[in-house]
Structure 1
């Protein structure tokens, strides 16, 4: 069942109109607008607890890997 669902999604993504118009980004011809990021901060050296209760050494486990650490909070009414 799962294989059929994945196959259907992949096949649906391959179809579509192959029109002759070329896609152009909005404001084509203008200079790219964006944000230049500053230098990244050093990875903090601390230990977290994983979902099984085992220690997770953040510094050691992320060595040599691109890492994005985010602590977020949401409050839905």
Structure 2
């Protein structure tokens, strides 16, 4: 399976949201590197992963009240 980089615009507001994402992604071994750019007005989430789809990530984020939209 091929490594992929997924990029999302998010509703992240603060460090507490990032801590929730961190706890979530710790449970996903397919995600091995990620970050959120809090300086960008779109709060860009960049994920390096393998074997997980953007739909699965969106669904997991929604479960912790983080809304995201994949960017092309």
TM-score of the superposed pair, with normalisation by structure 1? 0.20
| Larger of the two Rg values belongs to structure | 1
Specify which structure has the bigger relative contact order, considering alpha-carbon pairs within 8 angstroms and separated by 6 or more residues.
Answer: 2
TM-score of the superposed pair, with normalisation by structure 2? 0.21
- Of Structure 1 and Structure 2, which has the larger fraction of its residues in helix? 2
